[in-house]
Structure 1
């Protein structure tokens, strides 16, 4: 097979930042029909009015169809969330455990404090996207996701059984098994399909591979690949997260991989290596819309066999290096 035409994909987990950074990186995701945009700005997107204003800035920057989210805090107004969803302003709400990742200081520390908002969302059918990590000091960073399943997700799911949940950027076999056991939705990133923690750490620390949740063992990467290529509960979410070079190449570097410029060729390369190109359309273009109750995109994109011409940087942001040649490019 030398070419592959699929319905236009969507990105169900994307960071676009704001201001100059937004204007620089937004065009990099233009191949995507839609994208769920993360709300962890400073200050975060916490109200319907915030989401409307941010949506307008994103469209002005060159990405035409953002799907907005609100940042769940312990002060979130349930009525505002429900109204924002009912009016089509937001697609989902994002829960960050406090301290879990970039700009998560406003996240949830006391899960009991957000029960009213979760109950209102459950009743109104507002989806909840989860950054699935426990940030307690005693939890090893490589165990944060697995600990979240037992300590946070299981109680939350039992308390709100009708709440539509998306476990974002899953990184472990434990999370894959949990999603399957409880019929949740889950996104998988480029970097977690292509790399393991040896790629980040052996021979020296590579800051551009540092992300949260952190890269795991090869056996976890293999479980993600099997899930992505066989199971309709898993779908494309790049978690593309731009940071300027000085923040990545620093004594204490920022977490995130800027994968948007090469995401679809990278996914296609991984699926091809796994002998599963016939499953790429489901993962990239069909499973996410089905999970969120939206129609798939009507138009298509075509990939052809060849090496994509990817710039090393977009503005002052280094583009993710997949550590091996990509074998598919957008026509």
Structure 2
């Protein structure tokens, strides 16, 4: 196969940041994606519906002329989030989901939840009104090894929460382990998972072998090869419970290349080319549309995009920039460590 036409894809987990960084990266997403769920971990975070309304306006103002892109807004869950505000945000059509960050789990998560019991009133309201909870599925207790944090989260936080609130719809974002894949598949309903581009391609060797490579460092951190293979099998299986959430997360290079580098990998610019390569490798190009364009809308109760895009396999490798320039500084582009031939032609 050298040409593939699919419905225009969506990104169900995206970081756009704000200000100069937002202006510098939004074009790479708007060029290929119709919609994206926007993460709320700004400084300060997007906590209220009014915060989300203002942030959405800034995003819309930054979209390049001629591009059509719809940001789907989320709220940052705290132990003081008001259930009435969340319900009003959903009723207005502005709020698509609420995001749970365990405090300290990732970038700008220090204001997240430390005691889930304190957030139960809003979670109970979300279960009642059918508003999804997106979770960063890791514990942050220091005695748990960083490579085990997802599995421990499932056992000690997520499974008890789902038993307590079985009507709550939960998205396990950026699943990184076979444990996560197996848990989603074992669950009867109200649970799905997004999978990133980079976790389908790299394992932890990419970060550590041959020296520390900060531009492959992300949270959740990439795991062993057995977990990467489980993610690839799930993503390319056609299973409706798995869909694309890039977790594309730009940081200016000085914040990555330092003694305490930030977590995040920037993939928006070449995600579709990378995914087509992965699905071709797995003999599953016919399932790419399900992963990028169908399963996510179905989970979030939205119609798939009517517009189509065509990917063409070029004989010569594509050329992507090593870095993009933004007003917030240069951002290094994800290097999949293989040549890319699939081009989004239109």
TM-score (norm 1): 0.99
| 1:308 CA drift (Å) | 2.8
Please name the residue that 2:37 is paired with: 36
Please state if 1:314 is matched with 2:324: yes
TM-score (norm 2): 0.95
Q: Aligned partners of 1:309, 1:330: CA distance in 2, in Å? A: 13
Given the alignment, which residue of 282, 307, 324 partners 2:290?
282
Please name the residue that 1:228 is paired with: 235
| 1:200 CA drift (Å) | 1.4
Q: Aligned partners of 1:86, 1:121: CA distance in 2, in Å? A: 12
Question: What secondary structure, in the 3-state scheme, does the structure 1 residue paired with 2:141 have?
Answer: coil
CA contact (8 A) 1:58 1:64 kept: no
Please state if 1:260 is matched with 2:261: no
Q: Cα deviations across residues 211-265 of structure 1 (Å, max 9, x unaligned)? A: 0000000000000000001122100000000000000111111000000000111
CA contact (8 A) 2:318 2:339 kept: no
Question: What secondary structure, in the 3-state scheme, does the structure 2 residue paired with 1:253 have?
Answer: coil
Please name the residue that 1:159 is paired with: 164
Please state if 1:19 is matched with 2:29: no
Length, aligned pairs only: 331
- Uncovered stretches (5+) of structure 2, i.e. residues with no partner: none
CA contact (8 A) 1:210 1:257 kept: yes
| 1:327 CA drift (Å) | 2.4
Q: Aligned partners of 2:166, 2:82: CA distance in 1, in Å? A: 21
Q: Aligned partners of 1:244, 1:199: CA distance in 2, in Å? A: 20
| 1:159 CA drift (Å) | 1.1
Please name the residue that 1:192 is paired with: 199
Q: Cα deviations across residues 42-91 of structure 1 (Å, max 9, x unaligned)? A: 00000010000000000111073000000000010010001001110110
| 1:311 CA drift (Å) | 1.5
Find runs of 4+ consecutive structure 1 residues off by over 6 angstroms. none
CA contact (8 A) 1:271 1:277 kept: yes
Q: Residues 1-331 of structure 1 correspond to what in structure 2 (within 5 A)?
A: 1-30=1-30, 31-62=32-63, 64-182=69-187, 183=189, 184-230=191-237, 231-306=239-314, 307-315=317-325, 316-331=330-345
RMSD: 0.8
Q: Aligned partners of 2:319, 2:97: CA distance in 1, in Å? A: 34
Q: Aligned partners of 2:158, 2:216: CA distance in 1, in Å? A: 27
Q: Aligned partners of 2:23, 2:249: CA distance in 1, in Å? A: 14
